[in-house]
Amino acid sequence: MTRMTSTMRVKWCILRTSIEERLVYRADFAFATLVRFLPIVTQVFLWGAVYDATGPDDTKVINGYTFGDMVAYSLLVMVSRAFSSMPGLTTGIARDIRDGAVKKFLIQPIDLLDYLFWHRVAHKLVYYAVAFFPFVFVFWLCRDYFHAWPDSITFAGGLVSLLLAFVVGFLIESLMGLCAFWFLEVSSLVFVYMMLSYFLSGHMLPLDWLPEPYARGIQLLPFKYLAFVPAGILLGKYDHAQLMIELLQGFLWVIVLFALNRLALSRGLRRYSAYGG
């Protein structure tokens, strides 16, 4: 019991300190939020041109999506990506390994992954505290693109899927960072991941637009939880049974990715030489 209390105290200390640290950059968060909304304007014009090219009917449907659905999907993907994106996480881990800064986690009673996780939680808490009202304002302006408010089960599932987006995004990027125990330079890996993630997560296009069997194979991967699944749930693309299946599969991916992170950290520390300052 005492050990558990001590562990929780350490986690709370990390979270509180990280929040105080991130509050220093609150103006940067506000500016980043403003910039994040700018691509939505181009998306509205882009999809408007695509749907206008298919015919004059305002209710024209492409692959099960109306023009309003695509604008709503783009907005919800933006929210999902704000949860799942982890700027600087992979390169930060690689830099600490390369420079020797990671050795502090070998001599202090703080787990590397635990510290990074709560640091990112603090980052997201501060970001959404700053960005909450701009998000509300943009969604209010675009309220006509949403058909109806989701029912309570769907809405709760959507919130859970956003938390899954955060955890899956964290575990994927931390795993890439831990690869620096074997490959000191991971910038090429990050570039490839960003390119693939943009497509495989559903950020570029809804994954249910893809032809079979490619769509089925891609949806077996964890990347869909970064954007497509949260947006699809909140748009009502899943019934309650499908919703539970998707969330269950998401939790299974969390377990797999967590195990891979622990394995990579354990094996990496065995070969780590602790050079650097």
Residue 238's domain comprises 2-271
State residue 164's pLDDT score.
Answer: 95
Instruction: Please report whether residue 109 resides in a domain.
Output: yes
Distances (CA, A) of 59 to 13, 184, 205, 209, 240: 53, 52, 19, 18, 26
Percent of the chain with pLDDT strictly greater than 70: 87
- 94 touches 177 (CB < 8 A): yes
Closest CA to 231 of 82, 130, 126: 82
Confirm whether 147 is domain-assigned.
Answer: yes
In a 3-state reduction of DSSP, which class is residue 62? strand
* Domain assignment of residue 181, yes or no: yes
Name the residue with tokens 């994106």.
85
pLDDT, tens only, 149-200: 888 999 999 999 999 999 999 999 999 999 988 887 788 888 888 888 988 9
pLDDT tens digits, one per residue of 5-62: 667 777 777 777 777 666 666 666 667 666 767 777 787 788 888 887 776 655 678 7
Q: Is residue 173 part of a domain?
A: yes
pLDDT at 4: 63
Tell whether the model's pLDDT for residue 277 goes beyond 50: no
Tens of pLDDT along 71-108?
A: 899 889 988 988 998 888 888 888 888 887 787 777 77
Whether residue 277 lies inside any domain: the answer is no
Domain count, the chain: 1
pTM for the complete prediction? 0.87
CB 130 within 8 A of CB 46: no
pLDDT value at 223 more than 90: yes
Q: Measuring CA to CA, which residue among 111, 233, 95, 94 is closest to residue 163?
A: 233
- Residue 194, C-beta contacts closer than 8 angstroms, at least 6 positions apart: none
The pLDDT tens digits for 49-60 are: 888 777 665 567
In the predicted model, what is the mean pLDDT of residues 204-224?
87
Q: Within a domain: residue 276?
A: no
